[in-house]
Every structure is written in C-alpha cells, then in structure tokens.
Amino acid sequence: MLIGLDASRAAARQRTGTEAYAYFLINALIPLAAERDHKLRLYFNQPPSPDLFPSERHVEPVVIPFPRLWTHLRLAWELRRRPPDIFFTPAHVIPFTYRRPSAATIHDLGYHHFPQAHPRRQLVYLRWSTRHNGRIARRIIADSQATKDDLVQLDSLDPAQIDVVYPGIDPDLGPVRDEAKLTAVLHKYNITPPYLLFLSTLQPRKNLARLVQAYAASGVQQQLVLAGKQGWLSAPILAEIHNSQLNIITPGFIDDEDKAALLSGATALLYPSLYEGFGFPVLEAQACGTAVLTANSSSLPEAAGDAALLVDPLDVAAIAAAIQRLDNDPLLRNELAQKGFENVKRFTWGATAVRVLDTLEMTGELGGSNW
C-alpha cells in the first residue's frame, strides 16, 4: 500500500506538541512500513534537513513549496495528480477538495472549551478544520479518550469512526545525573536552583495566571521557571510577572538537547493546564524522574496515571497547597518519581506506530499503487 503523509509540521525547527507528534510518529512508521511492505510518500512545504528522517528505498520525500494556502492548493494538486492509496495527516488538515481514502489525527478541542484563548481568525480556522477532518476522513485518530468524548459530544462524530491511540514520548528523554551538564544548562538559561518548572507554550489555556497566583500564595521560596515560547495573549501575563517582586523567570523556548537536564534538575513540574488533548510535558517530566503537579481534568489524568498530584485547575488555593506539599515533602516527590518511571512505560512511539498503521491499513484501499 502507498501511504501519503503530510510531513510539513514534522520539519518545524522549534517543535511543540503537534510538531513533535508528527516527527516522532513518522520516524516510528518508517521501519514498521518496511516490515509490512508499504511505501511512504512524505509531503513537505519546504526542504527538510537532510537528516530529518532515514533515507530508505520505501520512502519518497516530495518537496512542493508554495507561498500561501499550501495544503488546499499545492498539496491538493499533488494528491490529485498522484493519489496514494490513503492520505494521512498527523498534525494538520485534509485538503478541502480531497475525497479519496484519508485519515487524520485530531489532538484536542480546546477551542470549544476556551474560545477566548485563541485569536478570532485562528478560532474560526480551528472550528472549520476540525469539523472538516471529522467529516471527510474515513477514520479519526484521537490522542486520548477525553478528545474522543469531545468529538462525539461537541462535533457529533460517530464513536465507531474514532480510534484512541496514545502518543509516545521522546525515547531520548531520561534522568540527567551529570552535575556539570545540569549546571551548564541552568547557567545557559539563567536559572537558580532549587526551582519549580512549567514547560510549555506560554498562553492563557495553560492557566498561567492562576499558577502565578498559587505560587505567590504558597510562600515557597524556590524560583519558578516559566519556560517555553510566547504564545498569543502571553504579553499581559508576562508584563504582570515582570512588574511583580516574585522570583519568577521566563527563559523562552528550550532547545531539545537541554530539555532533559532542565526537567531533571527541577524540584517538580507544575502543569495545571485548563485543557489538554494529551499533555506531553507531564510524561516528559516523569521520564526524567521529576515529580508532577497537574490538573484533574481533560486528558491529563489519562496521561499522568497515579504518578502525579492532581488538582482542580480553577482552584488557586488547591494549587498553592499542592505546591507546598511538593516543596516540603521529599518522600512524596520520590514516590511520584518512581511511579512516574512506571507510568511512562505505557507510552512508546513504537506502540503508537503499530496502532496508527493498523488504522491506515484498515482504511486504505489495497490494490494498484501509484508509486
């Protein structure tokens, strides 16, 4: 079977959740496709770095740059000119005019729950693209049961059309014990230990305002590090932080090679996000042996398992009390860290790729190939 894959998001230089999903999933699909005698055609909107994916005979990269509306014009034309047996988009949208067999991953419906956390133009596009994927794709892959439930309840999709397939985590993430490396990374980002860490895009949906209020109320003396690139509507929150007397720093985007050390050196990850389709930072922290505080809502309990302190993300006092517990109780932190190591074993990209490829095989039309 010839599988066409939108790989445009995987080529992003700074990968956040959906870009990382596309990158790691495609990497895991490449050897699995060879085992099952499938061919992959990867579509890029810009030339990828030469070492982005392994160069294999059964993988055909197709670079089709286009200035605007790449998906709905240039990619759509390429798919019509040389249609694969099935087209799959792991982190984007199916072209508007495409009607052949297709599958798509839908990561979350956060815009339904918190529309005010998105620019108006982005909100309109998210609503349209998610509904379009749900109605055009023969199968939908959801990152979590919470996302599937939202698709059924909010977008009226048939639950039989949706497969819940948990993502994996970066296999290179693990505890960093080398003191020299830890010190170098903290020095690079001007972080003073001990510190509490938030690691994700800085935007309202991440509940930063309440997190800062809870940190202030907790009276904990550790530095709070709000790490990640700035998202929409982050400026007012950052201005308030910078004008306060709190021991908070915002080092910006964290390079991939520094993430494990930053997580490993933290006392705890604080991630009381208002809504997540999955919640990669929770598992990334657990993989590095770091205790986690996260929300008791959306998909976060699914990801965290029994290896995190779960709090009501709307309750500032509850978040503050949990921060105090993590600060004061090293035995609790160690217990959560050990449970976290066990929890992350449930999430591997190899297992994700098997489930995704099973879905694509079930959906695609076998037979003549356009290779």
What is the tens place of the pLDDT at every residue in 293-315?
A: 999 999 999 999 999 999 999 99
Neighbours of 138 (CB within 10 A): 17
Highest-confidence range of 12-16, 236-240, 288-292, 366-370, by mean pLDDT?
288-292
Long-range CB pairs of 248-251, under 8 A, 24+ apart, other chains included = 248/212, 248/215, 248/223, 248/224, 249/189, 249/190, 249/191, 249/223, 249/224, 249/225, 250/202, 250/225, 250/226, 251/189, 251/190, 251/191, 251/225, 251/227
Cα separation, 5 vs 312, in Å, equals 38
Angle at the Cα of 284 from the Cα atoms of 283 and 285, rounded to 5 degrees:
90
Distances (CA, A) of 7 to 59, 75, 104: 12, 11, 12
When the pLDDT of each residue in the chain is averaged and rounded to a whole number, the result is: 93
User: Can you give the residue ranges of every domain in the chain?
Assistant: 2-168+348-363, 179-346
Collapsed DSSP state (helix, strand, coil) of residue 277: coil
Cα separation, 280 vs 284, in Å, equals 6
Average pLDDT over residues 148-170: 95
Question: pLDDT class for 250, splitting at 50, 70, 90?
Answer: very high
Distances (CA, A) of 112 to 63, 127, 128, 318: 34, 8, 12, 25
Q: Which of 66, 85, 109, 121 is nearest to 3 (CA)?
A: 85
Question: pLDDT class for 367, splitting at 50, 70, 90?
Answer: very low
Tokens representing 266 are 């933290």
Residue 366 has pLDDT above 50, yes or no: no
Homologous superfamily (CATH) of 179-346 is Glycogen Phosphorylase B; (3.40.50.2000)
Residue 368 has pLDDT above 50, yes or no: no
* Domain 2-168+348-363 and domain 179-346 have a common topology: yes
Question: pLDDT class for 365, splitting at 50, 70, 90?
Answer: low
What is the tens place of the pLDDT at every residue in 332-346?
A: 999 999 999 999 999
**For 2-168+348-363, which CATH class?**
alpha beta
Least confident of 66-70, 209-213, 315-319: 66-70
pTM: 0.89
Length of the chain: 371
From start to end of the chain, where are the E strands? Answer: 2-6, 39-44, 59-63, 86-89, 102-106, 139-142, 162-164, 195-199, 223-227, 248-252, 268-271, 291-295, 309-311
Distances (CA, A) of 309 to 166, 312, 363: 21, 10, 39
